[in-house]
Structure 1
Amino acid sequence: MSIPQDYPVGLDEIDAIATRAGRVIEKLRTAVFSPGTQKTLDVTFNVRTAAEMCGRTEKAIRDAEGDGRLPEPAKDDQTGRRTGYALEDVNRMRAVFGTLPHRAATDPAMVLAVQNFKGGVGKSTVVVHLAQYLALKGYRVCVIDCDSQASTTSIFGLNPDVDVDEDEDTLYPFFRHGGPATLHYALRATCWPGIAMIPANLGLYDAEYEFAARMVREQDFVLDRLRDGIATIADQFDVILLDPPPALGMISLSVLRAATAIVVPAPPNNIDFGSTAHFLRMMSSTLGELAQHGGARGYHFVKILATKMNDQKSAHGAIKRMMDAVFPQDMLNAVLKDSAEIDNAAANLMTVYELTGAATRTETHKRCRVYLDAVGREIETEIRKTWPSHLPGLRKEGVL
């Protein structure tokens, strides 16, 4: 096809650029995803930490190991010392001691969307770290990657281009006309005990067109398809985390309809704060329009989380104070600060919770863990407030 001389960059040139970019991505992913290997979780805990995680004493653990309620701990062949407990070992302890934090069967599963129509606000960072924080606490978590960019899928050790088939493994088949009746087909185990996921890849983007076509030709309210699908797997989990695309599209609207709570990540700068204000306005208007067709939707809570906060930038402090004034009841107290630790881990498709060895003994790492734990703890509390079976415990803890 001939190209006007004034516009020398045409489809062929754009395709060549995309091909070169694809080769770079392939090399990067090959470096991280070695052929024939699977991501493993190498995090272990000493007996003191395991006891704290279980809410019991070190003696209680040793007594349970001695009387056979728990298996004997693995020991180093040379020193005879305990090699540490894996997360599955800690969860086994919690089961024996009755300290697993699962919701009661009569409590509703929490369906939490981390959503903002603006990209680059830390959405996927919040999703993966929150999922792992909750898993460390002993909750059963499902992460549903609804974003065709598949950042969350990659962090959990799946190569979207190799390990994920959009016709079998993602939400796409479920969104298609005559698709599966449940979401069980797409559930994948991860290297994290307690976390399952439904992955994504670029093919999921086609679901946007599929949705639009169905909205035109069908009378049913198809935007509740995701909500109905989640209901088919909800009994297996305590918390279901949704990572939607950073745009207002059919999938994002489906996420808004499916979620029972929302966390809005928002960096404290003028552009992102303005985008967050627009997001909230659009969310209100859109939900109002959708309510006329599919019925009204409400949420247990909608909270705004300040992300990428840099205390060295005076503008960040000023805008954060403004956010607190504008949203006095809606801001989470915890703040996810800008941290090189998060960026460095993400460069290796890892999270801060997955780092081991000397990397965990730096002050940078310890500070970052404090920020992440504070965010996770506050959201965990908001989730527990929605479970009637947890209310007595929250009163005992002085939360209510």
Structure 2
Amino acid sequence: MSVEQSGPDVVHHISDLYSRAFTVLESLRRQAGAGEDGRQSPRFSITRAAELVGRTPAAIREAEKDGRIAPVARTGSGRRIGYTLAEINKMREAFGTRPWRQEGDPAAVIAVQNFKGGVGKSTVSTHLAQFLAIKGYRVCLIDCDSQGSSTGLFGYVPDIDFTEDETLYPFFRNAEMTSLEYAVRATHWDGLYMVPANLRLYSAEYELAARVAKQGPQLLDRLAEGIASISDYFDIIILDPPPALGTISLSVMRAANALLIPVPPTVVDFSSTTTFLAMLHETLEVMAEHQTPLNFSWVRLVATRADEQKSMQRELIALMRSIFGESMLRAVIKDSAEIDNASARLMTVYELDGPVTSRETYQRAMIYLNAVNSELETQVRLMWPSQAAKLRAEGVL
């Protein structure tokens, strides 16, 4: 397109570019297998299943023999093909080891937020949701970003697979709706549900802002009301908001009781995160003045997209640890070709059947992700009074 093009020519050109890109997305979607109809969660060996269930392999075999749990499928040669997550959760029920929150424990509602794009927000959200599902928790991931990146990592192309009526959009728009249940859908991970997003949420941002300006900041509680309508079904709800300080982001933070801030260890991202903290501080004060305070049980920062080969990034991580202290997670999500390769397939590292690059790269990525997510699991458990005795026994309290 030349610089002289304008009017209908520009519209036609943009339409053509969109059509080409859309064709590629459709192809990726077919290759990945869209959503729960075309994909399966990973299978686990009996050793890994025993670790997840909290029993020994011998105990699992014995339970299969006496009929307490169904025997796992086998190949023609008699070899176990591995346990699905659904089968592992049935084992947990048989052995009484489901880690669900107890009566009196609040649902953990975690906002994964930074006002700068490209910090790994959706990568953190989806890997955390799947990790917690593997551990046996009841999880719901709510995609609040019109870009639909978290939705995409479950194998969907948001604007192909969903209409606006299947997202948060109707709930923001219609004050008479009382529940978010209409938008909650099962994923191909047992125990993990999601509320998808697509481009229509972009309109909701402006519509909600106009209504807040006319009717007052109490409308920022709309998402909190929706989450309250479904929270009894879940232990942990993860919110992936847009990377901007808008009404949806404010609604997300108003609904959350925990805040996770991803920050890559670069000077630009550190500077942006510092600005985010300043804006968040001002927002907290303003919302408190309007009787709509933000209340977080914990706030944590996590270094993402870190390159261990770069001395400046290592120095910045050390600096952030000295500045933020215990608010900074010890573990770091390092830049990984395995994460990139999984994303290119519209999935996460937890879904890969095996290494895409090398076994060493794959194992390193799993170690980083598991370490970060384990720290966050502990933060969630600290919110639950029922976990106090166990956490003391583990030396956490």
TM-score range (shorter-chain normalised) is over 0.9
Q: Please say if residues 73 and 80 of structure 2, whose CA atoms lie closer than 8 Å, have aligned partners that are also in contact.
A: yes
1:216 Cα deviation from its structure 2 partner = 2.8
Worse overlay, 320-329 or 50-59: 320-329
Q: Distance in 2 between matches of 1:224 and 1:282?
A: 20
AA matched with 1:54? V
Which of 383, 393, 397 is equivalent to 2:390? 393
Q: Please say if residues 225 and 254 of structure 1, whose CA atoms lie closer than 8 Å, have aligned partners that are also in contact.
A: yes
Aligned pair 1:100/2:95, yes or no? no
- In structure 2, the partner of 1:269 is 266
1:23 Cα deviation from its structure 2 partner = 2.1
Q: Please say if residues 119 and 263 of structure 2, whose CA atoms lie closer than 8 Å, have aligned partners that are also in contact.
A: yes
Which of 175, 199, 210 is equivalent to 2:172? 175
Which of 98, 107, 110 is equivalent to 1:109? 107
SS in 2 for 1:336: coil
Q: Percent identity?
A: 50
Q: Please say if residues 123 and 243 of structure 1, whose CA atoms lie closer than 8 Å, have aligned partners that are also in contact.
A: yes
User: After the TM superposition, which residues 323-362 of structure 1 pair with which residues of structure 2 at under 5 Å, given as runs?
Assistant: 323-357=320-354, 359=356, 362=359
Which of 15, 21, 24 is equivalent to 2:17? 21
Which of 202, 206, 217 is equivalent to 1:205? 202
Worse overlay, 153-162 or 335-344: 153-162
TM-score, normalisation: structure 2 = 0.95
Which of 218, 223, 227 is equivalent to 2:224? 227
1:311 Cα deviation from its structure 2 partner = 1.1
SS in 2 for 1:111: strand
AA matched with 1:355? L
Aligned pair 1:33/2:32, yes or no? no
> Residues 281-318 of structure 1: CA distance to partner in whole angstroms, max 9, x if unpaired?
10110121112223322211000101111111111011
AA matched with 2:221? D
Worse overlay, 92-101 or 114-123: 92-101
Q: Please say if residues 360 and 366 of structure 1, whose CA atoms lie closer than 8 Å, have aligned partners that are also in contact.
A: no
Q: Distance in 1 between matches of 2:41 and 2:296?
A: 37
AA matched with 1:300? S
Q: Distance in 2 between matches of 1:346 and 1:391?
A: 37
1:82 Cα deviation from its structure 2 partner = 1.5
1:162 Cα deviation from its structure 2 partner = 1.8
> Residues 143-194 of structure 1: CA distance to partner in whole angstroms, max 9, x if unpaired?
000000001111112221121111x111110011434211011101111111
Which of 58, 70, 78 is equivalent to 1:80? 78
> Residues 19-44 of structure 1: CA distance to partner in whole angstroms, max 9, x if unpaired?
23322332222222229963312511
SS in 1 for 2:194: strand
Q: Distance in 2 between matches of 1:11 and 1:388?
A: 62
Q: Distance in 2 between matches of 1:73 and 1:171?
A: 39
Q: Please say if residues 155 and 350 of structure 1, whose CA atoms lie closer than 8 Å, have aligned partners that are also in contact.
A: yes
Unaligned runs of 5+ in 2: none
Q: Distance in 1 between matches of 2:208 and 2:145?
A: 15
Unaligned runs of 5+ in 1: none
Q: Distance in 1 between matches of 2:105 and 2:13?
A: 51
SS in 1 for 2:290: helix
1:14 Cα deviation from its structure 2 partner = 4.3
Q: Distance in 2 between matches of 1:183 and 1:42?
A: 25
Q: Distance in 2 between matches of 1:287 and 1:133?
A: 31
Which of 364, 371, 379 is equivalent to 1:382? 379
Q: Please say if residues 226 and 254 of structure 1, whose CA atoms lie closer than 8 Å, have aligned partners that are also in contact.
A: yes
Aligned pair 1:119/2:105, yes or no? no
Worse overlay, 137-146 or 19-28: 19-28
1:136 Cα deviation from its structure 2 partner = 0.7
SS in 1 for 2:162: coil
Q: Please say if residues 42 and 356 of structure 1, whose CA atoms lie closer than 8 Å, have aligned partners that are also in contact.
A: no
SS in 2 for 1:83: coil
Q: Distance in 2 between matches of 1:231 and 1:11?
A: 47
1:334 Cα deviation from its structure 2 partner = 0.7
AA matched with 1:89? E
Q: Provide the aligned C-alpha RMSD in A.
A: 1.8
Residue-pair matches, total: 393
SS in 2 for 1:92: helix
> Residues 203-261 of structure 1: CA distance to partner in whole angstroms, max 9, x if unpaired?
01111121122113325610011011100100000000000000111101111111100
